[in-house]
Amino acid sequence: MTMTGEMLIGGGAVYGKGIAFRAVDPATGREMEPAFGGGGDAEVERACALAWEAFDIFRETGLEARARFLEAIAQRILDLGDALVERAVAESGLPRPRIEGERGRTVDQLRLFAQVVREGGWLDAHIDRAQPERRPLPRPDLRQRHIALGPVAVFGASNFPLAFSVAGGDTASALAAGCPVVVKAHAAHPGTSELVGRAIQAAVAECRLPEGVFSMLFDSGHAVGTALVADWRIKAVGFTGSRRGGIALMNVAAARREPIPVYAEMSSINPIFLLPAALETRAETLGKAFAASLTMGAGQFCTNPGLVLAVDGPGLNRFLEAASVALRESAAATMLTPGIHAAYDDGVRRLTARSDVQTVARGQACVGPNQCQAALFAADAEAFLSDPGLQEEVFGSASLVIRCPEVATMRAVAERLEGQLTATVHADDADADEARQLFPTLERKAGRMLFNGWPTGVEVCHAIVHGGPFPATSDSRTTSVGALAIRRFLRPVCYQDVPAALLPEAVQDGNPLNLWRRIDGDLQSPDGKDASV
Amino acid sequence: MTMTGEMLIGGGAVYGKGIAFRAVDPATGREMEPAFGGGGDAEVERACALAWEAFDIFRETGLEARARFLEAIAQRILDLGDALVERAVAESGLPRPRIEGERGRTVDQLRLFAQVVREGGWLDAHIDRAQPERRPLPRPDLRQRHIALGPVAVFGASNFPLAFSVAGGDTASALAAGCPVVVKAHAAHPGTSELVGRAIQAAVAECRLPEGVFSMLFDSGHAVGTALVADWRIKAVGFTGSRRGGIALMNVAAARREPIPVYAEMSSINPIFLLPAALETRAETLGKAFAASLTMGAGQFCTNPGLVLAVDGPGLNRFLEAASVALRESAAATMLTPGIHAAYDDGVRRLTARSDVQTVARGQACVGPNQCQAALFAADAEAFLSDPGLQEEVFGSASLVIRCPEVATMRAVAERLEGQLTATVHADDADADEARQLFPTLERKAGRMLFNGWPTGVEVCHAIVHGGPFPATSDSRTTSVGALAIRRFLRPVCYQDVPAALLPEAVQDGNPLNLWRRIDGDLQSPDGKDASV
């Protein structure tokens, strides 16, 4: 499969007449072939029209057929072989093992959603049986299932060119829910996007689905994305990126005649709380492990540990010393794009210049373009509490340690934090009381709480939550990773006295889909004797 | 219990220093005692501060304790006895049997949520067990439950002074979720609000809950409501009312530093589709039943049938004749407020004045102030399709019949409808094909589809959906009636490697709450042998 620079609109491919752009290899700063033609209103219109046309058919595909479609996408991504890995490495500056791992995660994620679709729990089927004898009024027959919201706009993320991009978590969960997807590809990895997009396009054709189930648009600016979110046929948005970008899309969505949900995963500094006993017994281990988590992938993770809180004293000094040693040995690593690199350098410069912030350690100096030189800073709790600016995320391997006079101050700082994807506590048995006191605050602030671990590395499974209060995300009621992500793209519909011949399978008598269902409020298994409705 | 005109802030009562107002008996136009003191910023601040203080404690109350609290509210509402019924009748103009029925519904609703809380399905507990041996990386122990969003602002609705007001569906479901509630009482029924508010306040004290679990504010204008939605401690909003009011609150919520979800139930004309065979065989029965649904409660239901679609011809004429006969006999009925009455008369006048709309029938003339004289209009499909203004809701007993040249036109009109709470189809066996063709469109447009019934009368149960795409509601992913309404006020939290001593009960080994849980993705019953995690 070769790259042509074309957008994929339904079953076709079209070279955009807008401003063309090329991918940049951040490791060399050089542009790569081919040039990708930017899209415009005509392509947004066509992609949305096809998605709308496909919607009623696609949302009613059988569970098995839809699951196989997701598996077909996974297989076709694997079939791209080394060409995909090479292009993704070149476009992202990420090391080959990371891209190979990310490909595995992308494929596993599609297969997880295939399982989720087959099991059918997301249909959330309910049946409240008629009570014709009830007084004063009979009760009608009421049934409920969830249906797809409508076509979804997905924005590829820069930092996961596979797992949160064209066939990433947002796309997989939207397709699983029965929503056609229109992707606005990230301009940082257009070649990777085209390859993966063509794999999805081929899977659509192989599974004989309506062509509008998937389209993919290019634009090096914001016009196409804005037009897409504003289009009346788009009913939800999935986005992973900057706070500014997410808020811009939220505003477009809120200003529509029909406002729509935006699932934007934006900004998080993922605080780490080092409790006294843990710090006392294993400051060196913690410092070393922290530095490893901070510098992994040049710190370009949503869950990168950007803030550390501890009581000032010998334990914290040992932690800082161990972290500094590790950090000073850490090689500078290529960042995803020149823009991200410039923003990182800006953020580090801003912190370095402050009189109330100390530079504790830097990583090894840069030896190539667009490299991230790790940075560890420290400040007093007083400084942090008096300036909300110190909460701003510096995307990359930079972190700020807050020296607190006592544990109560750590709680006070926690209470002042914005919403987070994660909050981590390092605690020994002797820290149990402190941990217990911190717990409710962290639960209110974050989507995921970790003990004695590191937030980088998000497991794709059933119980995971990759979400959290604003500005971590625009909608704390959901997760963008894991099985529950499918719920973002569903809504309930109730069927009152609908004739058997017209009822959707999920709520038919006899339970043809073998679902867990709630009958008069009670959960019943597919094979339960009471499930005979 | 006597009325004092005071607001209820936590355990206390305070007479507002803002503009005072009195309830008006719409049946006489006369003002009633006492005067209610309007609130201001100080009361919003105090109510929100107390709610915030109560939040961490209230959200962790045990399931049994929280269920008993809801039941205590129900009992104390019943204990108010006839004083409540009399005041609600006087303030709303609704007949006594309707208010008595609504009291029953309010109490049943609180008791349903008590059951829902006890059962615990809403906690949505997940456990993905650790896999320490997994390669290349071990899997951590991951658990998930849902927690309360935070304090909720509830706006009482004018048309359900009990069931969608101070202790109505929004309050019941928010409290069930573990969210403290601050109610902005509707200025149309302040006495009813105070009585019910004091019942809740007494239940809070009886159950020894933190006083901030409930507060209630008065304001005859919009300042208090706006300040409430803008307050940083408020994390969600429940509202039932006009489209303009709902959109105003959505805008306030979206403009906050931390945007929050607004569940506004606003505007719906609840289309009725009369398919040819059904019309042919039972036009007269349908016409009569339609008129009864239209005039029930002076048409002041969110689910009032404001639009009827049918193919023009003898069947439709018979339907119109039967509906007209019934309508002409229907007595004018007192509306809820002078303002609602004026808006109804305006809407009817607007339709009457149009050359492309025919007045088919009017109800009996008004014999008292603020009465609703029913009105039935008709227009051609062409007129309807060319003017979106004909979709505007006229709140009250007014409905518009659209004469369609053929069934395909009915589908075309359906496709052009805005989002609806309900869509109703009247169909005989011979209409099966037409019904099947209409089905996907109606599913996309409405939260509840009915066959051969009438949309007024919303069952409070597990399978119900009282919701739908914008502008029926601001958030189609939920329902404001029935057991699932609790989900509006929850968000998931994941616990990674959290020590057993700190884990919430819902996800502890041994399943102390006896919940249905998903273990490694599989649903397991409380007594299941595999549920031994």
Confidence of residue B183 (pLDDT cuts 50, 70, 90): very high
What does the pLDDT look like over A448-490, one tens digit per residue? 999 999 999 899 999 999 999 999 999 999 999 999 999 999 9
Alpha helices, DSSP H, located in A366-464: 381-386, 407-416, 432-445
- Compute the distance between CA of residue A443 and CA of residue B496 in angstroms, rounded to an integer: 12
The residue of chain B nearest to residue A256, with distances taken between CA atoms, is: B470
- Compute the distance between CA of residue B523 and CA of residue B129 in angstroms, rounded to an integer: 14
CA distances from B446 to B403, B469, B483 (A): 22, 6, 19
Q: How many CA atoms lie within 13 A of B520 on its CB side?
A: 9
B465–A493 CB contact, under 8 Å: yes
Facing A463 at nearest CB: one of B142, B258, B261 = B142
What does the pLDDT look like over A155-175, one tens digit per residue? 999 999 999 999 999 999 999
Edge-to-edge, what's the strand order for the sheet holding B214-217?
A: B12-14, B7-9, B214-217, B181-184, B152-155, B236-240, B262-265
Percent with pLDDT over 70 in chain A: 99
CA A34, distance to chain mean position in Å, is: 28
Q: Which residue has the tokens 């490495």?
A: A89
B259–A128 CB contact, under 8 Å: no
Percent with pLDDT over 90 in chain B: 97
The residue of chain A nearest to residue B436, with distances taken between CA atoms, is: A502
B462–A139 CB contact, under 8 Å: no
Sign of the CA dihedral running A339, A341, A345, A348: positive
Question: pLDDT at position A2, please?
Answer: 82
B496–A521 CB contact, under 8 Å: no
Neighbouring residues of B244: CB distance < 8 A, sequence distance ≥ 6: none
Question: pLDDT at position B528, please?
Answer: 67
- Compute the distance between CA of residue B100 and CA of residue B104 in angstroms, rounded to an integer: 6
Helix (H) or strand (E) holding A320: helix A314-329
B451–A119 CB contact, under 8 Å: no
Q: Chain A to chain B, count of Cβ pairs less than 8 Å apart?
A: 210
Q: Which residue, among B293, B468, B319, has the nearest Cα to B398 in the 3D structure?
A: B293
- Compute the distance between CA of residue A439 and CA of residue A432 in angstroms, rounded to an integer: 10
Question: pLDDT at position A527, please?
Answer: 81
What does the pLDDT look like over B406-417, one tens digit per residue? 999 999 999 999
CA distances from A459 to A394, B122, B142, B388 (A): 24, 23, 9, 49
Beta strand A126-128 pairing with A517-519: parallel
A243: helix, strand or coil: helix
Helix (H) or strand (E) holding A399: strand A398-404
B523–A121 CB contact, under 8 Å: yes
Are the CB atoms for B179 and B489 separated by under 8 Å?
A: yes
A499–B436 CB contact, under 8 Å: no
**Nearest-CA distance from A198 to chain B in Å?**
30
- Averaged over B38-48, what is the pLDDT? 98
Backbone angles phi, psi at A475, to 5 degrees: -150, 100
**Nearest-CA distance from B513 to chain A in Å?**
16
Facing A259 at nearest CB: one of B147, B443, B470 = B470
Are the CB atoms for A477 and A428 separated by under 8 Å?
A: no
How many contiguous H segments (helices) and E segments (strands) does chain A have? 14, 23
- Compute the distance between CA of residue A83 and CA of residue B3 in angstroms, rounded to an integer: 77
- Averaged over B381-388, what is the pLDDT? 96
Q: How does DSSP classify residue A36?
A: B
What does the pLDDT look like over B272-302, one tens digit per residue? 999 999 999 999 999 999 999 999 999 999 9
Average pLDDT, chain B: 97
Query: What are the structural domains, with CATH classification, of chain B?
Result: 7-131+139-266+479-487 (3.40.605.10), 271-451 (3.40.309.10)
- Compute the distance between CA of residue B291 and CA of residue B276 in angstroms, rounded to an integer: 19
Rounded to 5°, angle at Cα B370 from B368 and B371: 65
Average pLDDT, chain A: 97
Question: Residue B108 carries which side chain, given as an amino acid letter?
Answer: D
- Compute the distance between CA of residue B447 and CA of residue A494 in angstroms, rounded to an integer: 6
Neighbouring residues of B339: CB distance < 8 A, sequence distance ≥ 6: none
Are the CB atoms for B358 and B379 separated by under 8 Å?
A: yes
Percent helix / strand / coil, chain A, rounded to 5? 45, 20, 35
Neighbouring residues of B243: CB distance < 8 A, sequence distance ≥ 6: B266, B267, B393, B471
Facing B432 at nearest CB: one of A143, A492, A501 = A501
- Compute the distance between CA of residue B279 and CA of residue B268 in angstroms, rounded to an integer: 24
Facing A449 at nearest CB: one of B418, B490, B493 = B493
Using the predicted structure, report yes or no on whether residue A352 has a pLDDT greater than 60: yes
Contacts of B144 in chain A (CB under 8 A): 462-465
CA distances from A70 to A178, A238, A263, A391, B76 (A): 11, 18, 21, 39, 54
Contacts of B56 in chain A (CB under 8 A): 440, 444
Question: pLDDT at position A136, please?
Answer: 87
Question: pLDDT at position A530, please?
Answer: 54
Mutate to test the interface with A, among B111, B113, B452, B477 (most CBs of A within 10 A): B477
Contacts of B115 in chain A (CB under 8 A): 521
Question: pLDDT at position A261, please?
Answer: 98
- Compute the distance between CA of residue A141 and CA of residue A498 in angstroms, rounded to an integer: 8
The residue of chain B nearest to residue A443, with distances taken between CA atoms, is: B493
- Averaged over A63-84, what is the pLDDT? 98
Question: pLDDT at position A532, please?
Answer: 57
- The catalytic residue among A53, A102, A265, A393 is A265
And the tokens for B211? Answer: 């006083």
What does the pLDDT look like over B304-319, one tens digit per residue? 999 999 999 999 999 9
**Nearest-CA distance from B490 to chain A in Å?**
7
Question: pLDDT at position A174, please?
Answer: 98
Q: Which residue has the tokens 């051609």?
A: B380
Beta strand B375-380 pairing with B398-404: parallel
Using the predicted structure, report yes or no on whether residue A444 has a pLDDT greater than 90: yes
What does the pLDDT look like over B416-456, one tens digit per residue? 999 999 999 999 999 999 999 999 999 999 999 999 999 99
Sign of the CA dihedral running A415, A417, A423, A427: negative
Beta-carbon count within 10 A of A278 CB: 26
Question: pLDDT at position B533, please?
Answer: 65
And the tokens for B16? Answer: 């507002």
Backbone angles phi, psi at A202, to 5 degrees: -65, -35
Confidence of residue B2 (pLDDT cuts 50, 70, 90): confident
Q: Which residue, among B237, B256, B226, has the nearest Cα to B153 in the 3D structure?
A: B237
**Nearest-CA distance from A493 to chain B in Å?**
5
What does the pLDDT look like over A353-374, one tens digit per residue? 999 999 999 999 999 999 999 9
Neighbouring residues of B182: CB distance < 8 A, sequence distance ≥ 6: B44, B47, B48, B51, B151, B152, B153, B154, B214, B215, B216, B217, B228, B234
Confidence of residue A533 (pLDDT cuts 50, 70, 90): low
What does the pLDDT look like over A194-227, one tens digit per residue? 999 999 999 999 999 999 999 999 999 999 999 9
Residues of B annotated as catalytic (active site), given as ranges: 265, 302
Question: pLDDT at position A528, please?
Answer: 66
Are the CB atoms for A248 and A398 separated by under 8 Å?
A: no
Q: Which residue, among B156, B29, B26, B157, has the nearest Cα to B92 in the 3D structure?
A: B26
Contacts of B418 in chain A (CB under 8 A): 258
- Compute the distance between CA of residue A231 and CA of residue A237 in angstroms, rounded to an integer: 11
The residues pairing with A411 across neighbouring beta strands, listed in sequence order, are: none
Beta strand B446-451 pairing with B490-496: unpaired
- The catalytic residue among A48, A179, A302, A372 is A302
**Nearest-CA distance from A286 to chain B in Å?**
16
- Compute the distance between CA of residue A411 and CA of residue A279 in angstroms, rounded to an integer: 17
Question: pLDDT at position B530, please?
Answer: 55
Facing A477 at nearest CB: one of B115, B261, B474 = B261
A440–B140 CB contact, under 8 Å: no
Contacts of B518 in chain A (CB under 8 A): 462-463
The residue of chain B nearest to residue A142, with distances taken between CA atoms, is: B463
- Averaged over A93-120, what is the pLDDT? 97
- Averaged over B239-243, what is the pLDDT? 96
| Exposed / middle / buried, residue B257 (Cβ in 10 Å: 0-12, 13-18, 19+) | exposed
Question: pLDDT at position B529, please?
Answer: 55
Backbone angles phi, psi at A345, to 5 degrees: -60, -40
Active site residue A265: yes
The residue of chain A nearest to residue B483, with distances taken between CA atoms, is: A521
**Nearest-CA distance from B77 to chain A in Å?**
22
Residue spans of beta strands (DSSP E) within B275-413: 307-311, 333-334, 357-362, 371-372, 375-380, 398-404
| Exposed / middle / buried, residue B381 (Cβ in 10 Å: 0-12, 13-18, 19+) | buried
